[in-house]
Amino acid sequence: MITTTQIEMALGHVNDPDLGRSLTELGMIENIKVDGKKVSFDLVLTTPACPMKKKMSDDCIAAIHELVDREAEVDINLTSKPQPDPKEEYKEIFSKIHHIIAVASGKGGVGKSTVAANLAVSLARTGAKVALVDADIYGPSVPIMFDIKDEEVYGHRVGDKTYMLPIEKYGIKLMSVGFFVDPTKALAWRGPMASGALKQILTETWWDEIDYMVVDMPPGTGDIQLTLAQTIPVSGAIIVSTPQQVALADVVRGVELFRNESVNIPVLGFVENMAYFTPAELPQNKYYIFGKGGCRRLAEEMDIPLLGEIPLVQAIAESGDSGKPVALFSPDKTQDPVRDAFDTLAQNTIKEICKLKINN
C-alpha cells in the first residue's frame, strides 16, 4: 500500500533544475493525496510559464515509479503562488500579472533599452506571456525598436471603465508614451508630469494575463523610479552597465536607490552590455574595448548576481534600427553569441525571480 510518507520521501529526491534544491525543501509540493495506487499532489511553480515545469513533472513521476511503485497512477496539478496584492485601486489591472521586472541604468548610453527589448523577446521565446512597457518617458524607443511608429492604440471597455489595449508584435504586448507624442519634438516634462504619464500607461492599459512584464526605465534615479515602486508590485530590478569605471560608479547609486526604504525593490542582478567586441567574421574572438570584467568585479563586491554579458556587435544595432530585435531570429553562425547571450540573460533572470519567490 502506498503511503503519503513514501511519496514525500520520493519527491525529496527531485530537485529544481535551476536552484539545485529538492522540491519538498523548497515548499513546491502541496496537498499530497493517496487512494490505492492513485497519487495526486500540487506542484507549486513560481510562475505558470516556468520553462522547467515539464522536466520537474516528469522527474516527479519517475521518482515515484522508481522509489515507490511502478504501477502508481500519478496526477500532478501545476499551480503557482499568487503575487503580492497591488494597491486596491489597481487590483483589477495587475492581479493577472505574475512578475514585473524593472530594467534600469545609472546613466544613459549603456544600451538599457536594447537589453530590455531583447530580454522581453527571449522571455517570450520560452513560451511565456510577456509585456514590454516603455517607461523611458524622455526617450521612448519601443516604437522604433519594434517598428510600430504608425500603429494606433484602441480602447477596450471593461465594466464602466475604458482601458487602452497594448499593441502586440512578435508575441509581446507593447505600450509606450512614444505612441502618443510627436517623435520630432522633445518631451520637456517636469518630474510630476513624467510620473503621471508613466502611471497612466501602466494603470490605464488592459494587460490581461502576463507572466513577465519588462519595464524599460529612464536612466538615472528620481521620480520615475519612486512612482513605479509606489504604484505596482515590482518583483525585482535589473541594472545595465558598460565595463567602464565611470558607468560602474552610477551602478552603485542605482543599487542604493532600489534598496532605499521608500523603494525597497530587490536587485535581481547586473547586465554588462558592450562587454566585448566580436567581429562578425571571427565570432570566437573577443576584444575588450571598454575594459574587461568591470561589472563582474562589482557584482562580486556587492554580492549581486551578474545575469549576463552582452557583446558589442553590429547586428544588435542594426536589428534595433530595423524594428526586429536580434533575439528574434534563428541566426547564422556570426550571430549565435548574441542570441545565446540574451537567452542566458532570460534564463538567469527567471532563476533569480524563482529564488526571490521561494525565499519570501
pLDDT tens digit sequence for 216-241: 988 776 666 666 766 778 889 999 98
Domain 4-80: give its CATH architecture: 2-Layer Sandwich (3.30)
Local confidence band at 10 (pLDDT 50, 70, 90 cut-offs): very high
DSSP classification of residue 90:
G
HEC string of 280-323?
CCCCCCCECCCCCCHHHHHHHHHCCCEEEEEEECHHHHHHHHHC
Residue type at position 305:
P
3-state helix, strand, coil split of the chain in percent (to 5) is 40, 25, 40
38-45 and 29-35 strand pairing? antiparallel
- The whole model's pTM is what? 0.76
Q: Where are any strands of DSSP class E within 170-304?
A: 172-176, 210-216, 236-241, 267-277
* Chain centroid to CA 198: 19
Place of cell 562580486: 300
Q: Which helix (H) or strand (E) holds 35?
A: strand 29-35
Q: List, in sequence order, every residue forming a beta bridge with 76; answer none if it has no partner.
A: 41
The CATH H-level superfamily of 88-359 is P-loop containing nucleotide triphosphate hydrolases (3.40.50.300)
CA distances from 121 to 57, 144, 243 (A): 26, 15, 24
Q: For the segment 242-284, what is each residue's pLDDT rounded down to a tens digit?
A: 887 766 777 888 888 888 776 788 999 999 988 878 777 777 7
For the ranges 69-78, 256-265, 297-306, 342-351, the lowest mean pLDDT is seen at 256-265
Q: Is the pLDDT of residue 333 over 50?
A: no
Domain spans of the chain?
Answer: 4-80, 88-359
Backbone angles phi, psi at 268, to 5 degrees: -70, -35
CB contact set of 245 (below 8 Å; sequence gap of 6+): 291, 294
Among 51, 106, 40, which Cα is nearest to 346's? 51
Distance in angstroms (rounded) separating the CA atoms of residues 137 and 195: 9
Residue type at position 299:
A
Mean pLDDT of the chain: 82
Q: Is the pLDDT of residue 96 over 80?
A: yes
